[in-house]
Copies of this chain bind each other. A is one copy, B any other.
Amino acid sequence: MTAATAPTALSIDKTQRIRNLFEPAGIAIIGASQAPQKWGFRFMHNLTNGGYKGELYGVNPGLKEVLGRPVFPSISELPDCVELAYIVVPPPAVPKALQQCADRGIKTVIIITAGFGELDDAETRQAQRDITAIGRKEEMVVVGPNCAGVVSPEPMSLAGAMFSWEVPRPGGLSIVSQSGNVGGSILGWSRLHQMGVARVVSSGNEAVTTTEDFLHFYADDDRTKVIFTYIEGVPDGRLLFEALQYASQRKPVVVMKGGRNPAGVRATESHTGSLAAPMNLLRAACRQAGAILVHDLYEAAELCAALMDQPLPAGRRVAIVTQGGGWGVLAADACHDAGLDVVELPEETIAELDTFMPGWWSRGNPIDMVAGMMDPSGPTRAADIALKCPVVDSIIFLGIGFGGMRGPRAEKGTDDPDKQVEDPAKAEERKQMSRYFREREAQVIDRLVEMKTTHGKPIMTASEAVLSAYGAKPNRSIQALEERGIRVTANVVNAAKTLARLAERYEFLQGTARTGTQLA
Contacts and interface: CB of A to CB of B under 8 A. Distances in A.
9 contacts: A49-B429, A177-B326, A258-B330, A263-B332, A267-B331, A295-B337, A298-B464, A298-B491, A417-B479
Interface in A6-51: 37, 49
A311 B179 CA distance: 33
Interface string A335-376: 111000110000000000000000010111010101100100
A65 interface: no
Given A258-B329, A263-B341, 8 more contacts: A114-B371, A188-B402, A232-B329, A259-B329, A267-B331, A295-B337, A469-B471, A471-B474
Given A262-B336, A329-B232, A333-B258, A470 B181 contact: no
A323 B179 CA distance: 12
Contacts of A465: 188
Q: Top 6 nearest A-B pairs by Cβ distance?
A: A471-B471, A179-B326, A181-B324, A270-B362, A264-B333, A271-B325
Contact of A266 (B185, B262, B342): B342
Q: Which of A271, A323, A330, A407 gathers most chain B CB within 10 Å?
A: A330
Contact of A336 (B193, B261, B368): B261
A192 interface: yes
A444 interface: no
Nearest to A279: B333
B267 A328 contact: yes
Contacts of A479: 417
A119 B268 CA distance: 56
A490 to B, nearest CB: 6
A147 to B, nearest CB: 11
A475 B474 CA distance: 12
Contacts of A409: 472
